[in-house]
Amino acid sequence: MADPSVRDHFLTQVWLPYPSCDQDVERFLCGRVDAVESTCLCIRNREGQTTVETREVRLIKDEVWGVSAPVEAFVVGDHVAFDRNSGGLFLLAPNLNNSFYRFNPEPEEWSRFLQKVERFFEEQGFLHLHTPYLVVCPGVDHHIDFLRVEAVGTKQTWTLPTSPEIHLKKYLCQGYERIYEIKKCFRDDLPGPDHSIEFTMLEWYRAYEGLGALKDDLNNLIHYLVPDAPPLKVTTVAAAFGKSIGASLTPGTSLADLRLWAAEQSIEVADDDDWNDVFFRIFMECIEPNLGADGPLLVTHFPPQQASLSQIDAEGWSSRFELYWRGVELANAFLEVNSPAENRERFRLEQVMRHRKGAPAAPLDEEFFDCVESGMPPAAGIALGLDRLFKICRDH
């Protein structure tokens, strides 16, 4: 709708930059032009989008706002005030870089999404906690690289958390039974559609409860956010291997077995790849893309080599599960190891695996082990990538 000559004349000859704003703004609709059509302007503010019919707009001189602009002078991105009483449309701040402005409602949607997640956990009786960003140990998984932070003056160094796991478990040891945190976390990942160095993690724990309670939480949370989402389904890692590549995965599957299966799928592996390396290659190339194609899916019973800080069940499987939806991993849940000796040994083994790969290992957080020594209750915990879940919920 904008006429370049009309707009240029108004901006250079008539419009006064930085007009003062009337303190009594009830009669004004203030916002940003989201669309310019032949008969109307669409103005968006924090309350949503409002359509102003152009035939309602009158050119007037206002003692506070100045001169209203002709509708031909407006472009998408202009900040405006529409006087509901007089019909005047005042230009508050013009968009002078039209190529830069693209209205993106995601910040509003993201804010509402986070509020809804918080409301869900509050209704379940969880305590919302806040853990540090400058930590001694960022996490335990050997395949996750972390970021370091150095103070300019003192040269003291910390790491940024890859998850709030360690510090939330300290709270478990202090007697808090239902806890959660929504936290920015950091991992030295290659950027991609589902990977970012900085991302938002939702992590929660239930003391004295098991994986079944977390499964119910996930099912309820998903349908709280997306009421018409498909029902949550469950499968095992062994079943997924059998369906995708016809292999019979067991807790005793050897590295030689994995190498043979990789060769059958034309997956390249290096001579120095260990059990976990080859498993990940097969899983990521042949298994993961097919998981949760028709709805949210829990994948349970991982091999013992994939236990991390989860317990091992009587059959030799890791007591943990992952949530997938549309081929994207969303969450990772553990029946937590709460033995002090076993916790320290698991951390040590993860450090050994990092050293073997030539990757730096963060120091251990001795305060965490002191907390576990004081008594960590039986608990189940889960970490969920909120950015990924938000995208799937938005697109559902």
pLDDT tens-place string over residues 238-285:
999 999 999 999 999 999 999 999 999 999 999 989 999 999 999 999
Which amino acid is residue 373, in one-letter code? E
**R_g of the chain, CA atoms, integer Å:** 28
Among 382, 238, 242, 234, which residue's Cα sits nearest to residue 296? 234
Residue-level pLDDT at 141: 83
User: CA angle, 114 as apex, 111 and 116 as ends, to 5°?
Assistant: 110
Residue-level pLDDT at 47: 76
Query: Both tokens of residue 28?
Result: 């004004």
Return the sign of the alpha-carbon dihedral for residues 334, 335, 339, 340. positive
Return d(Cα 78, Cα 175) in angstroms, integer: 54
Task: Assess contact for 350 and 172: CB atoms under 8 A.
Answer: no
pLDDT < 50 positions in the chain: none
H or E segment and range at residue 264: helix 255-264
Is 36 strand, coil or helix? strand
CATH number, span 4-93 = 2.40.50
Q: Domain extents for the chain?
A: 4-93, 106-395
Q: Do domains 4-93 and 106-395 have the same CATH topology?
A: no
Query: Both tokens of residue 215?
Result: 């499964």
Query: Both tokens of residue 112?
Result: 């509402």
Query: Both tokens of residue 396?
Result: 């559902």
Residue-level pLDDT at 29: 87
H or E segment and range at residue 219: helix 211-225
Task: Assess contact for 83 and 59: CB atoms under 8 A.
Answer: no
Separation in Å, CA 335 to CA 99, 205, 213, 263, 278: 51, 10, 11, 34, 25
Task: Assess contact for 123 and 103: CB atoms under 8 A.
Answer: no
Residue-level pLDDT at 105: 65
| Block residue for tokens 């320290």 | 344
Residue-level pLDDT at 18: 72
Task: Assess contact for 177 and 208: CB atoms under 8 A.
Answer: yes
List phi, psi (to 5°) of 310: -100, 155
> Taking the CB of residue 365, how many other CB atoms lie within 10 A of it?
18
3-state helix, strand, coil in the chain (%, to 5): 35, 25, 40
CATH architecture assignment, domain 106-395: 2-Layer Sandwich (3.30)
pTM, rounded to two decimals: 0.85
Residue-level pLDDT at 38: 82
Among 190, 316, 183, which residue's Cα sits nearest to residue 249? 316
Return d(Cα 270, Cα 4) in angstroms, integer: 62
Which amino acid is residue 277, in one-letter code? D
Eight-class DSSP state of 85: T
Residue-level pLDDT at 140: 82
Residue-level pLDDT at 388: 94
Number of residues that this document lists for the chain: 396
